[in-house]
Amino acid sequence: MKSYIKGMGTYVPDRIVTNDDLAKRFDTSDEWIRQRTGIEERRYAEEGIGTSDLAKEAAVRAAADAGIEIEQIDFIILGTLSPDHHFPGTACYLQPKLELAGVPCLDIRQQCTGWVYGMTLADSLIKTGPYQNILLVGSEVHSHALHFDDAGRDVTVIFGDGAGAAIVSPAPEGSERGVLAHALHADGRHADRLCYRLFDISRIPLADAEYLESVENAWPYMEGRHVFKEAVVRMPEVVREVLASTGHTIDDIDLLVPHQANLRINEYVVSSLGIAPEKVINNIQRFGNTTAASIPIALDEARRNGQVSQGDLVCLVAFGAGFTWGAVTLRL
Ligand code: ACO
């Protein structure tokens, strides 16, 4: 038995924030951001709107696209690094918004690789469990926890808010559609290179004023060059690994959907793999890095704009904080 994507949905907030808008708040420029990251604009949620709110909208759209009622969803997997609360998991806040009390739900905390880990888990649950319609959603509201100051500008310019979702179901019998293979990795030796230490409450009391005085503790911290160097090696490596496991080659791929961390990272990955740029989707220019939501948002866009069709071989690949990285191949 295979699992396949029965339907998808995207939701991004209406509010567009351009590079020039950011340049009014701290020392940066449209030119610097475009040149280093490819980003032109991103979306920000309004105050009071959280990750589970965006996730709900994407979920409703995915269910409609799949042709199912919300009450047919029988498992919820939610990837995020910007949870509604430190605990419990954000899936527990999403579930009642969908009126799905009793349905099992869990958070995946694999950051930018969250949706790829989630797809792997959904595939396994379909193969081993009784589930028919798993909601897999990546959702992020980064904008409420970014440092709009010169000291935080390297991180702040990169991230945007948004959500993308899929309904993952058992593939119709005899269909070529469905997940073919996955490859997952992590190397926690790099965990402190890209992290958010504010909620280190198991080690440091939250009220420790001295601890919070450090910008590195109070705001997301990123060693950008180190992340860049690892990403451009790990992403091509894991694409080759996942293809080899089913005897496919780079030429077999109809669409590569890389995590949208930085357009320059993806350009390196594309040239290193030797894949034709028209077989790759990038939309970071309009949404920034939406972490766990970036792959479903990009894949959904490719489905809707005709860049990919039913039965095409799609490869999803991500790299993110942890470090975590992974790839999935599927026939759409
Ligand atoms: N605007 C203007 N100047 C800036 C900004 C900014 N937003 N941010 C940093 N600078 C300055 C720095 O202060 C520095 O100035 P200095 O030379 O006077 O000291 C200069 O620009 C160069 O800074 P670097 O950090 O060395 O810039 P770099 O060329 O490495 O680019 C960037 C930074 C874009 C973050 C890059 O390292 C990168 O893309 N790394 C990958 C990280 C990434 O994509 N993370 C995404 C999240 S993780 C994930 O999804 C995988």
DSSP for 77-93, written as a single string:
EEE-SS-SSSSS-THHH
What is the distance in A from the centroid of ligand 1 to the CA of 193? Answer: 14
Quick check: 181 and 242 in contact, CB under 8 A? yes
Residue 266 has pLDDT above 90, yes or no: yes
What percent of the chain clears pLDDT 70, i.e. is strictly above it? 100
Q: What is the mean pLDDT of residues 270-291?
A: 98
Q: Tell me the pLDDT tens digit for each residue of 77-126.
A: 999 999 999 899 999 999 999 999 999 999 999 999 999 999 999 999 99
Residue 282 has pLDDT above 80, yes or no: yes
What is the distance in A from the centroid of ligand 1 to the CA of 154? Answer: 5
Model pLDDT, residue 198: 83
Is the fold of 3-170 the same as that of 178-331?
A: yes
Model pLDDT, residue 197: 87
Catalytic choice (112, 133, 182, 262): 112
What is the distance in A from the centroid of ligand 1 to the CA of 224? Answer: 6
Q: Atom 23 (ligand 1): residue with closest C-alpha?
A: 154
Quick check: 138 and 122 in contact, CB under 8 A? no
Please say if 92 is a catalytic residue.
no
Model pLDDT, residue 330: 98
Q: What is the mean pLDDT of residues 268-281?
A: 97
Please say if 305 is a catalytic residue.
no
Structure tokens at 26: 């701290």
Confidence band of 183 (pLDDT split at 50, 70, 90): very high
Q: Which of the listed residues 21, 36, 142, 196 should we mutate to test ligand 1's pocket, taking the one with most ligand atoms within 8 A of CB?
A: 36
* Residue that is written with structure tokens 């310019």 in the block: 157
Residue 204 has pLDDT above 90, yes or no: no
Every domain of the chain and the residues it spans: 3-170, 178-331
Model pLDDT, residue 214: 83
- Based on the number of CB atoms within 10 Å of its own CB, is 87 exposed (0-12), middle (13-18) or buried (19 or more)? exposed
Confidence band of 222 (pLDDT split at 50, 70, 90): very high
Catalytic choice (19, 92, 289, 315): 289
Q: How many CB atoms lie within 10 A of CB 112?
A: 31
Q: Atom 34 (ligand 1): residue with closest C-alpha?
A: 36
The second-level CATH assignment, the architecture, of 3-170 is 3-Layer(aba) Sandwich (3.40)
Q: What is the mean pLDDT of residues 151-179?
A: 97
Model pLDDT, residue 28: 98
Instruction: Say if pTM beats, i.e. exceeds, 0.75.
Output: yes
Q: Tell me the pLDDT tens digit for each residue of 122-142.
A: 999 999 989 999 999 999 999
What percent of the chain clears pLDDT 90, i.e. is strictly above it? 92
Please say if 259 is a catalytic residue.
yes
Q: Atom 29 (ligand 1): residue with closest C-alpha?
A: 36
Model pLDDT, residue 207: 72
Quick check: 116 and 56 in contact, CB under 8 A? no
Ligand 1 atom at minimal distance to the Cα of residue 291: 50
Residue 73 has pLDDT above 90, yes or no: yes
Q: What is the mean pLDDT of residues 261-273?
A: 98
Protein residues whose CB sits closer than 6 Å to any atom of ligand 1 = 28, 32, 36-37, 112, 153-154, 157-158, 194, 222, 224-225, 227-228, 231, 261-262, 265, 289, 319-321
Q: Atom 31 (ligand 1): residue with closest C-alpha?
A: 36
Residue 30 has pLDDT above 90, yes or no: yes
What is the distance in A from the centroid of ligand 1 to the CA of 159? Answer: 13
Cα 59 from Cα 11, distance rounded (Å): 9
Model pLDDT, residue 81: 96
Top-tier CATH class for 178-331: alpha beta
Cα 43 from Cα 187, distance rounded (Å): 31
Short-list 316, 265, 332, CA closest to 113: 316
Q: What is the mean pLDDT of residues 215-222?
A: 88
Residue 215 has pLDDT above 90, yes or no: no
Does the CA dihedral 230-28-148-211 come out positive or negative?
Answer: positive
Mean pLDDT (the chain) is 96
Confidence band of 206 (pLDDT split at 50, 70, 90): confident
Q: Atom 51 (ligand 1): residue with closest C-alpha?
A: 320
- Assign 7 to helix, strand or coil: strand
